[in-house]
Structure formats: C-alpha cells, structure tokens
Amino acid sequence: MADRVFIEGLEVETVVGVYEWERDITQRLLVDLDMDWDNRVPGASDDVKDALDYAAVSDCVIRCLQALQPKLLEHAAEVLAAELQRTFGIEFLRLSIRKPGAVAASAVGVSIARGRRL
C-alpha cells in the first residue's frame, strides 16, 4: 500500500529511564509514526469517521506512554506499536521514539516496524 498517515515530533512528557533519579521526574519523548492506511475512502467522503484520526492516535500515544512509564525505549516502542495496531486496526506501522538530552550533543532513540504491509 502506498497510502499512509504520519505524525512527526509528537511530544510526550512521562517518567522514563533506568536510573533511580529518572524515576522521580518526567522527561520529554518525541514520537514519529508512519502508518499504512487506505486513504481512498476518506479522500472521497471528506468525513473524519472514515479516516485514521490522527488526533485520536496522538491521544492514544500520550495516554499509553504516560501510563506505561517505561524504563527502556525498546519496551515503550513494542507496547505502543501493539496498542496502536489493536486500537486502530493498523496493519503496518513504523515508529520512532527519541529521548532528547539522553546523550549530550546527539539524538538517540529507537525505531521499529511492526505488522504486515498490504
């Protein structure tokens, strides 16, 4: 499938990290999503109920990561991918989670792809 819906740079404040001091504060994560979605129906109907509602997806990402409070970004990515696929019926997605400031003068994070391309 060539159609997709994407969200880039979604900011989520949550508890994240393995060090004891990290468990006492919130930190900013940046989430990028690229999701296969057939956009022909919403393209023809011009109705959000036919679309992959990126506001609803964004809310789901924020709720999931804030509730999860992961130690590892790898764990956050796996749980988040499964939740998005289950909740929205997304067959294939690619997601990245970045943790700004985790390593000085660089961007660090994880990226995964899950599901089956149509």
> pLDDT by residue (tens digit) across 49-104?
999 999 999 999 999 999 999 999 999 999 999 999 999 999 999 999 999 988 88
Smallest CA-to-CA distance from 34 within 116, 75, 90 is with 90
pLDDT at position 101 is 85
Catalytic residue among 55, 99, 104, 107: 99
pLDDT at position 107 is 84
> pLDDT by residue (tens digit) across 14-26?
999 999 999 999 9
Q: Domain range spanning residue 69?
A: 4-115
Is 99 one of the annotated active-site residues of the chain?
yes
Q: What is the CATH number of the domain that holds 46?
A: 3.30.1130.10
Phi, psi (deg, nearest 5) at residue 112: -135, 160
pTM: 0.94
Domain count, the chain: 1
Residue 118 pLDDT greater than 80, yes or no:
no
